[in-house]
Amino acid sequence: MRKVTREIVQSWARFQPRILGNTATDGETIWLHGNAIAWKAGDTDTLALTLAGWNTVTTRERLNGVLNFYGFDYRFAQRNWEPVLIIGRDVIEIGEFERVYFDIVTQRLCDPVTG
Delimit the domains of the chain by residue range: 3-109
pLDDT tens profile 37-76: 999 987 668 999 999 999 999 999 999 999 999 999 999 9
pLDDT tens digits along 72-87: 999 999 999 999 999 9
Of the listed ranges 22-31, 47-56, 58-67, 101-110, the one predicted with least confidence: 101-110
Strand residue runs (E) in 2-114: 18-20, 23-25, 29-32, 35-40, 46-50, 74-79, 82-87, 90-93, 99-103, 108-109
Q: CA nearest 51: which of 64, 69, 42?
A: 64
Torsion angle defined by CA atoms of residues 65, 69, 70 and 74, in that order, rounded to the nearest 10 degrees: 40
What average pLDDT score do residues 75-103 get?
95
Q: Please give the distance of CA 109 from its chain centroid, rounded to a whole number.
A: 12
pTM of structure: 0.93
